[in-house]
A and B are shown apart, each in its own frame.
Chain A
């Protein structure tokens, strides 16, 4: 089935560690997005990519990094520079201005 898959569903990080969240889509979409969701603040854009090997910072890119080496994959690394990483992370993909398809999310907790 076509879709967008995020893994893992739950992730725990120790202080000072980098962690990478996976996002894979088989919808042949050019654009992919990463959002962070905190209670009462909705979705805030971290990074987005319109095409392979190209990406742009969103509104809250500090402490995060991404890569887009393949069309179907857009991993997000939460670095130790991100001081408050505990949140729900959502990945999305879409083609042009059409509907964005979302993954089921990864809940990251710092322990």
Chain B
């Protein structure tokens, strides 16, 4: 069945780059997404990538997609304390199911 996996924690120093990794199983996924969740709130879309793309850049965010290995990554340049949150990877699976990973908690310290 469909599955999305992420590491649970990442700690970085303010100003450094953060890289959050994700693997997925459904090779037919047409879209892959990165969402951000602040404490006690819903999820907000950060960025997404079509499955026929290798890379997408949006200001401080860079998404890399390796379709052969079913690996997705999110790089946040110049990480700030306001970037501290949980980041979810998601795939658009068959019949429009939206499957999420467990989320990576990013902690940014001075």
Chain A contact residues, CB within 8 Å of chain B: 31, 33, 35, 40-45, 48, 50, 56, 58-59, 90, 92, 94, 96-97, 99-100, 102-105
Enumerate chain B residues within 8 angstroms of A42, measured Cβ to Cβ: 6, 88, 100-103
B residues in contact (CB < 8 Å) with A: 1, 6, 8, 30-31, 33, 40-45, 48, 88, 90, 92, 95-103
24 contacts between A and B (CB under 8 A): A33-B98, A35-B100, A42-B6, A42-B88, A43-B88, A43-B100, A44-B100, A45-B97, A45-B99, A48-B96, A58-B97, A59-B1, A90-B42, A90-B43, A92-B42, A92-B98, A99-B45, A99-B48, A100-B90, A102-B42, A103-B42, A104-B41, A105-B41, A105-B42
A-B contact count (CB 8 A): 57
CA–CA, A19 to B33, complex, Å? 32
- Given A90-B42, A105-B41, A41 contacting B102 (CB threshold 8 A): yes
Please give the distance in Å from A37's CB to the nearest CB on chain B.
Answer: 9
* Closest-CB distance, B70 to chain A (whole angstroms): 18
> Chain A residues near B31 (CB, 8 Å)?
97
In Å, the complex CA distance between A11 and B44 comes to: 23
Whether A105 contacts B40 by the Cβ 8 Å rule is yes
B100: chain A residues within 8 A (beta carbon): 35, 42-45
Which residue on A lies nearest to B102, using beta carbons? Answer: A42
Given contacts A42-B103, A105-B40, contact A100 B45 (CB under 8 A): yes
Residue among B42, B90, B95 making CB contact with A50, cutoff 8 Å: B95
